[in-house]
Amino acid sequence: MGLARVRRLIPDRPKYERAVFAGDGIVTIFEVMHPIAAGSYTVHLGSELQVEAVDYVADLDVGTFAMTTAPDAAVAVYIAYQHTYLSDTDIMDLLTLEGDVDKLAAADALGIIAADEVLIQKVIKVMDLQTQGDRVAAALLKRADMLKAEVEGEPAFAFAEVPMDDFALREEYWRDAAE
C-alpha cells in the first residue's frame, strides 16, 4: 500500500521511453539512465526480440542492460521501457526512514526530485525555449511542505467511546442530543 500511495502523492508515474544504440561488436552494457518499471521493457537486436536471462540481464534500479554477447557492428539495439525518477527500492527506503508514514516519504521524494530538477534543468534560455528548474523545484518543495504539515496536524491516536450496556447507550444518546 505504501509504495503505490507514495507514487500517487508525487509526480513520479511511469513514462514511456525508447532508446536506440548501435552495436560495435565490443560493448555489451547499454544504459538508459533511468530506473525502469518492472515488466515494462523489451529489448530487440534489429527486429529480433531478445529473451531476458538468455540474451541479456537487466538491472532495473540502475537502468542497465548487459547483453550476453556484444551486438555486431551496424546492428541496432532497441530498448523500449517505462521509467520513473525514483525506483521502487528508493521509495521503500524512504518509507523505512520515515517509519512507514506515506506523506513523509512522499515529501522526502519530492525533495529529491526538486534537487534533480534544479541540477538538470537549471535556468536555461535558448532562442524561444526556456527551462526554469528553480521554479519547478520551488513548486515541488512547496508540495513537500504541505504534506509534512498535513502529517503534523494529524492526531497520533483517537478516542472512541463505546457504550457497554443499555444504560450507557441511552446516556450517550441524550448527551449527544443535548449538544
DSSP 3-state assignment of 121?
Answer: helix
Q: Which residue has the higher pLDDT, 56 or 147?
A: 56
| Average pLDDT, integer, range 82-88 | 85
d(CA 117, CA 101): 25
- Taking the alpha carbons of 4, 5, 6, 7 in that order, is the dihedral positive or negative? positive
Task: Please determine, for residue 18, whether its predicted confidence score (pLDDT) is greater than 80.
Answer: yes
The mean predicted confidence, pLDDT, of the chain is 85
> What's the pLDDT at 75?
93
| Average pLDDT, integer, range 115-137 | 75
Task: Please determine, for residue 103, whether its predicted confidence score (pLDDT) is greater than 80.
Answer: yes
DSSP state of 68: S
Task: Please determine, for residue 122, whether its predicted confidence score (pLDDT) is greater than 70.
Answer: no
DSSP 3-state assignment of 29?
Answer: strand
Q: Which residue has the higher pLDDT, 9 or 163?
A: 9
| Average pLDDT, integer, range 54-63 | 92
Each residue's pLDDT tens digit, 151-178: 887 765 555 666 667 777 677 767 777 6
pTM over 0.75: no
Helix (H) or strand (E) holding 106: helix 102-121
> What's the pLDDT at 128?
81
Rama region for 3: left / alpha / beta (φ>0; ψ in -120 to 50; rest): alpha
Contact 104, 148 (CB under 8 A): yes
Task: Please determine, for residue 2, whether its predicted confidence score (pLDDT) is greater than 90.
Answer: no
